[in-house]
Structure 1
């Protein structure tokens, strides 16, 4: 919701009503990885949900990690409107952020490693925007699925704030909240920047250049090995 030129999150009463069922379908499989988007997911795999600006570039950032990421998909999270559309989310009247869901094998890549990717891939100090993209749907967010994820996410935020402050950057505005309903986005938004769709498409994401150093939590976990190429598109 925009009052003048300042994005403002709507309350539940102000938000669009939505609908009990989605009005579009989602493809069965990931365009790049070939894995199911909506599951079922392999036993023992975990889910991580992040908002870091336009979800086109955010999703590509995670599917390109060389090991451990099984599938990714984009959607809408943290708002009030049930089964929103892209146009509704972009209106600012749903309260959602554009989010990327990462399904990963914790034996190959840790949640801590995904958080490092999250923090370094965008500027978490910009509030309701990311680069030239302005709106509440572009806010930085981590939606956690377990108490352990919440604790590690909080520790990573504190560590990255220290790194940003020492480099002259501002205060992190990233939300860390328990995951609410994740509404998958339309098929055309899934893997939007893949080679078979729009490999040279727009991406407004940009990091600060500040790195998140080890350790910041209880377990840095598996990092992406050097010498392994990103996933081919």
Structure 2
């Protein structure tokens, strides 16, 4: 019992750099093309595309949510926000890499705005749960927005504040979403890329709060 409690404790607290697993110098193998769109997973991307990164629990269902969004060019799942370089899925699941499961979203801002993506993000999960999302428990499943540039960062903050006010009206708790400048993104293994397209009846833990998110004008990006 002590062992199980110790492991759970590790998964609920972010490790310090010196506590993290060592990882490796080389990237782990992944797919070359998106399973659905057949577009190159790592680019090059058409001129004018922009990039966003979100973590909202298990990345399988989260990725499907974004690749089905009009204006999204390509998506990929991976790990970000921790210390371990080039981690594996098994390593991140221990809670000893510090990474969150995230989705990298490459999108055409002429078709879908960053504000549109923020609205999808907020409404698709419960951002008040800390180091978990539903039955998925651990730092890996924390709510995150990793931003590219000041405009995205300010938009994310404004949307968080507006949504938190709506959640409060609905009797929900304080938002625990981590909003930081985008760290390095590590591509997950090939089997995790577009997982629910390959396994249509696979696990999807996405569950929103039912509270609508109205993005304020100040959050446009």
Q: TM-score range by the shorter chain?
A: over 0.9
2:151 maps to which of 125, 148, 152: 148
Q: CA deviation at 1:186?
A: 0.1
Paired residues, number: 216
- In structure 2, the residue matched to 1:165 is 168
Alpha-carbon distance between aligned partners in 2 of 1:165 and 1:3, rounded to the nearest angstrom: 29
- Structure 2 Cα separation of the partners of residues 157 and 18 of structure 1: 33
- Residue pairs, 1:111-122, within 5 angstroms: 111-122=114-125
SS of the residue corresponding to residue 73 of structure 1 reads strand
Greater shift after overlay, 98-107 or 1-10?
1-10
* Residue 45 of structure 2, aligned match among 34, 41, 44: 41
Q: Which residue of 2 aligns with 1:105?
A: 108
The superposition leaves residues 187-207 of structure 1 with CA deviations (integer Å, 9 ceiling, x where unpaired) of 00000001xx11010111210
Q: Which runs of 5+ in 2 are unaligned?
A: 1-5
- The residue number in structure 1 matching 2:58 is 54
TM-score scaled to structure 2, two decimals? 0.94
Change (3 A) 1:5 1:178: closer
For structure 1, the residue ranges without an aligned partner over 5 or more in a row are 221-233
Partner of 1:225: none
Query: Would the alpha carbon gap of residues 29 and 3 (structure 1) be closer, same or farther in structure 2, given more than 3 Å must change?
Result: closer
Structure 1: distance between partners of 2:93 and 2:11: 14
Tell whether 2:37 aligns with 1:27: no
Whole-Å separation in 2 of the counterparts to 1:31 and 1:156: 32
Q: Post-superposition, which runs of at least 4 consecutive aligned residues in structure 1 deviate over 6 A?
A: none
Alignment partner of 2:155: what SS? helix
Q: After superposition, what is the alpha-carbon deviation per residue over 1:29-58, rounded to whole angstroms, capped at 9, x for unaligned?
A: 111122111011111110000000000000
Q: d(CA) in 2 for partners of 1:114 and 1:3? A: 32
Q: RMSD of aligned C-alpha atoms?
A: 1.4
More helix by share: 2
